[in-house]
Chains A and B, each alone.
Chain A
Amino acid sequence: MRLFSGAILAAALCGWSFAQPALTPAERQLNVASFEQVWKTVRDKHWDPKLNGVDWQAVHDELRPKIEAAASMQEARDIMSDMLKRLKQTHFGIVPGEAYKELEQKDESGKSNPSDGDPGLDVRLVDGHALVTFVTPDSPAAAKGVKLGWEILRIDGKELAPGLAKVRAALGSPMLAELIETRSVIERMEGPLDKTVEVEFLDGNDRNVTLKLDRTAPRGIETVLGTLPPLHFWVDAHKLQPDIGYIHFNVFFEPEAVESAMKKTMAECRDCKGFIIDLRGNPGGIGGMAMGLAGWFARQSGLVLGTMYLRTASIKFAVFPRPNPFNGPLAILVDGCSASTSEIFAGGMQDLKRARVFGTHTAAAALPSLFAKLPNGDGFQYAIANYISEGGKPLEGIGVTPDREVKLTRHQLLEGQDPVLDAAVSWIHGQ
């Protein structure tokens, strides 16, 4: 059993689909045992003993005959997924065993495949189109002249649009969709360092451009936290303009590195007019870091970002003010790939009226979840807590709505603009 934070697992597991072999009697029995484990786990571990008002026993009695009769693994998964969907909550799901095995291999080694790399691109889904939003300097993509705003049409000959549409349809809700779709595009470009990936773009002149891109080590340092899959962490902190502090990091890991970056930037920015925390693309990580980050911007003790409710306890996300906090305007940038700890931080600071949030709606995936292996080999993800922001709203399934919604456009990206950042800068200068 492993503890996964926020949307990291969901992001890691996207894009799996498998064939449906016939079942042996033993496999049928394992599916029934898995069904029972899932049902009992929810009954016993869900943070809400009332299970969101669902008559859980009735659900069991309705679906138990169906799982006994399930003729394929996919049918069994569908029945268990159906059971979990009755909760109407995210972070409850069945993961195909093939995907789970993949995760286990990574966990056992403690490291990701060292040969894995990427061409040095970041991507966001804008109205269903995968647009390049960042090109890592000196990366293979930069060397081949890939520019912001280019649209990715195909990866290794496979058209993106139908797959993305399928993912969105399967999710049935825009919540989490941008995160999962974006991850699926990025992951399709990842692979062994000694192999290229062929990417077809629509360039700035609406011409199709196909490039064979080498892969390079992912940006940042590899970081491992417990049994979580290894991730690459990077932090970019500097004075954005002479009078604005800026920090952007890709995941809430490596607390000492984030703290060090904040210390340095704060020391340089004591008299800055404002500060920007860029959480776009940040899927979360260590929840406690939201409290520490908030402390750089809070004078007052006793503030709380929100409260996490477990079945047997509740944990307040208290803000611990730093010795010399920054008191000027604070802007937080978010998008549909900002999840979990990013949402806890942005939503809490918004509720406390300490920050103004810019960008697009967040992923609405804030709950910590555990991951267990089922008797039939599948994985089972289940949330163990609920989170209510200080303003009284659950972030899960709702997310953070920016104070000022600013969407990316292909045109602006092609012009080298970052409209979300520009809006935050403009607001700070207007204070």
Chain B
Amino acid sequence: MSRSYVGRNIAIGAAMVLSLSLARAADDLPKADSILDKYVEVTGGKAAYQKHHNEISKGSLSMAAMGLKGDVTSYRADPDKSLTEVDLAGLGKVREGSDGTIFWSINPMTGPHVKEGPEKAQAQLTSRFNAELNWRDVFKDAKTVGADTVDGKDCYKVQLTPADGSPITQCYDKDSGLMVKMTMTAQSPMGEQTVDSFVGDYRKEGDVLMPHKIKQNAAGQEILITIDSVSFDVDIPADKFAVPDEIKALVTKK
């Protein structure tokens, strides 16, 4: 969950995307590939990423303005299998997942849903394991488009354009090289929503330095995700990423 570019779009359809007008890149800005590669380097290095093939992250999610809290568990496996479960008191369990082919969600409020089109393209990004390491495979273009200040930290803004879907903008701390903010446009049948994600509290999990707090602002709501634990290379049951029957029924119907 914490290591994908767009994997924090956990709850209730909140997600992310870019829609800010981007500043023109100045000549003295560092190249995007050096910024992105530096991120991999400062968070553990290529070898540290490559030695893992799956992970389980556990934590919590809260929407303070509404007084909502819940538990979050995310399972991810190489190359693009995922399952995220958010259990919110009073709302029930929201699930999103992928077996690498079918990208789906089941929400007790809105029902089961198979992602198609731009929403599916975005889910494919979300589900990509080690996306930060493999950004050259995930995005067709990356360029530095300006500089910004996030929570008092000067950062470089990098615009990443996927093969399919709208670009994502990420801001990397000029000093530490760590990503501090991501802006993107969440795609869903409910429309496009700009999502700003502020990323912080980097701590080591094994050999990899990972963010443990993600604050998302979307549609006037603030969502705080806190990661409590991350386990790598766990024996995840094979059926964990299996497509649920409700989703199979929808796929068959189509």
Contact = CB atoms under 8 A, between A and B. Distances in A.
Contacts, number: 98
Interface in B167-218: 188-191, 193-194, 218
Contacts of A224: 89-90
Nearest to A228: B67
Interface residues of A, number: 40
Contact of B112 (A1, A226, A310, A320): A320
Interface in A278-323: 286, 288-289, 291-292, 295-296, 301-302, 307, 310-318, 320-323
A324 interface: yes
B108 A292 contact: yes
A223 interface: yes
Interface string A239-276: 00000000000000111100100000000000000000
A302 B189 contact: yes
Contact of A291 (B63, B109, B250): B109
A266 B90 CA distance: 24
A227 interface: yes
Q: How large is the interface on B (under 10, 10 to 19, 20 to 34, 35 or more residues)?
A: 20 to 34
A406 interface: no
Contacts of B21: none
B193 A256 contact: no
Contacts of B218: 313
A1 B246 CA distance: 38
B150 interface: no
A234 B68 CA distance: 21
A370 B221 CA distance: 12
Contact of A223 (B90, B189, B249): B90
A226 B109 contact: no
Contacts of A318: 110, 188-190
B107 interface: yes
A225 interface: yes
B65 A292 contact: no
A349 interface: no
B36 to A, nearest CB: 29
23 contacts: A3-B65, A225-B89, A225-B90, A226-B90, A227-B66, A253-B90, A255-B92, A256-B92, A256-B93, A288-B12, A291-B110, A291-B111, A292-B108, A292-B109, A302-B189, A317-B190, A318-B188, A318-B190, A320-B110, A320-B111, A320-B189, A323-B250, A323-B252
Interface of B: 12-13, 63, 65-68, 89-93, 107-113, 188-191, 193-194, 218-220, 246, 249-250, 252-253
